[in-house]
Amino acid sequence: MLINTIKPAEGSKKPRRRVGRGIGSGLGKTAGRGHKGQKSRAGGYHKVGFEGGQMPLQRRLPKRGFKSAQLKFNGEVTLGDLQLLDVAEVDLLTLKAAGLVRELVRHVKVIKSGELSRKVVLKGIGATAGAKAAIEAAGGSVETPAAA
């Protein structure tokens, strides 16, 4: 095989449609644009969502909801994840190294989901009330992060 003999697969490339090239082509005269009106003319069209002057749908519906840009910096870890992690002291770097939270994450919170039966010390990581109780019941402790 030579580089100058390579061709695309049969039927994968269709020739460009040439419009306005005479009556015999089937796409002559109006060139597939129909007769008259804004859409038939060069440069004439309307913006996306335009409804002919009627109040557009995106303006008729109420504004609702909000998604914080800070969400991408927050992470969650379950008690089940901590159980599988073979480390006595858990901090943010440990969780990132284990792949439990993304690299972007700055604040992590442990939630009560799953079981924890071994001693774990959390450093600089928050925990929900239920998760904190479960960690302390297993003999571990939670050192809350300093308020930033």
Residue 14: the pLDDT is 93
Residues 136 and 127: their CA atoms lie apart, in Å, by: 11
Answer whether residue 22 is part of any domain. Answer: no
pTM (global) more than 0.75: no
What does the pLDDT look like over 119-132, one tens digit per residue? Answer: 999 999 999 999 99
| Count of structural domains, the chain | 1
Residue 148: the pLDDT is 47
Q: In sequence order, what E strands does the chain have? A: 74-78, 89-90, 107-111, 121-123, 126-127, 141-143
CATH code for position 130? 3.100.10.10
Answer whether residue 37 is part of any domain. Answer: no
Answer whether residue 109 is part of any domain. Answer: yes
What does the pLDDT look like over 70-105, one tens digit per residue? Answer: 999 999 999 999 999 888 899 999 999 999 999 999
Answer whether residue 32 is part of any domain. Answer: no
Answer whether residue 92 is part of any domain. Answer: yes
What does the pLDDT look like over 24-71, one tens digit per residue? Answer: 999 999 999 999 988 899 988 888 999 989 999 999 999 999 999 999
Residue 147: the pLDDT is 53
In which domain, by residue range, is 115 found?
71-143
Residues 104 and 60: their CA atoms lie apart, in Å, by: 37
Answer whether residue 131 is part of any domain. Answer: yes
Q: What is the mean pLDDT of the chain?
A: 91
Start-to-end CA span in the chain (Å): 63
- Contact present, 105 and 113 (Cβ < 8 Å): no
Answer whether residue 39 is part of any domain. Answer: no
Answer whether residue 33 is part of any domain. Answer: no
